[in-house]
């Protein structure tokens, strides 16, 4: 299987989920500590409060667009098209399940926490701020590539480079959302923790049900796992 057994998976889930709950609790209680930390990191990554159109601003707009939930659907369509074509049908279905459920979790939590966006946010950024939907969605797309696609690359050096580029891409999407004042910094941190925690559960579900899905559905009977 592309996703293997890992005795530490539940430990990673517990750590990431508990950290997420701590941040969510601090957000809901308007923690002064979190406000200070957000201000510090906002000053570090968000130097453009007036959205002055310079080169960095345009780069961040492009990065934010490429990492948006709508574009993540496009990326996932491309990824799963090739996975399906190369007979990785069950992994392709798992990839969609991972993305859709992750996005739904993010949306539900937004309406539970109800954190307003920074005052300087762009007019087209609507809805609540915590956690960042962009980051949750793109993190999961990157995770699918990291776990399912990259391991299929034969050369180890190329695999490592691709993995590093995926990590960098997730970081840049998070920074772009902070830079454009679409989110507070810890909205993106919370998003990564939420996505990572859900990913651990999703991997466990794959290990539990992938064989059954392959054997019970005619369209996946020839799938590689």
Specify the higher pLDDT residue, 214 or 165: 165
- Helices 89-113 and 9-28 cross at an angle (nearest 10°) of 30
pLDDT digits (tens, 9 = 90+) for 143-162: 999 999 999 999 999 999 99
49/30 Cα distance (integer angstroms): 22
Is the pLDDT assigned to residue 219 strictly greater than 70?
Answer: yes
- Helices 133-144 and 185-216 cross at an angle (nearest 10°) of 40
pLDDT digits (tens, 9 = 90+) for 99-134: 999 999 999 999 999 988 887 666 566 778 899 999
- The domain locations on the chain are 9-220
Asked if 113 contacts 99 with a C-beta cutoff of 8 angstroms, the reply is: no
Query: Based on C-alpha coordinates, what's the Rg of the chain?
Result: 18
Helix ranges (H only) for 67-155 are: 69-85, 89-113, 133-144
pLDDT digits (tens, 9 = 90+) for 20-67: 999 999 999 989 999 998 888 888 776 655 556 778 888 989 999 999
Is the pLDDT assigned to residue 188 strictly greater than 90?
Answer: yes
């Amino acid at each position: 299987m592309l996703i293997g057994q890992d005795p530490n998976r539940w430990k990673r889930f517990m750590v990431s989920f508990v950290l997420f709950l701590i941040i969510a609790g601090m957000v809901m209680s308007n923690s002064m500590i979190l406000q200070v930390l957000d201000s510090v990191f906002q000053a570090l990554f968000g130097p453009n409060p007036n959205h002055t159109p310079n080169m960095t601003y345009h780069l961040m707009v492009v990065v934010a667009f490429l990492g948006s939930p709508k574009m993540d659907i496009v990326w996932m369509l491309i990824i799963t098209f090739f996975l399906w074509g190369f007979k990785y049908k069950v992994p392709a279905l798992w990839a969609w399940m991972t993305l859709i459920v992750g996005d739904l979790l993010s949306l539900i939590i937004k309406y539970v926490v109800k954190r307003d966006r920074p005052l300087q946010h762009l007019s087209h950024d609507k809805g609540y701020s915590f956690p960042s939907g962009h980051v949750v969605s793109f993190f999961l797309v990157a995770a699918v590539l990291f776990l399912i696609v990259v391991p299929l690359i034969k050369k180890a050096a190329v695999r490592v480079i691709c993995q590093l580029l995926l990590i960098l891409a997730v970081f840049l999407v998070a920074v772009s959302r902070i830079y454009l004042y679409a989110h507070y910094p810890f909205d993106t941190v919370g998003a990564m923790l939420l996505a990572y925690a859900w990913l651990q559960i999703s991997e466990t579900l794959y290990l539990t049900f992938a064989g059954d899905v392959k054997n019970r559905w005619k369209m996946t009977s020839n799938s590689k796992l």
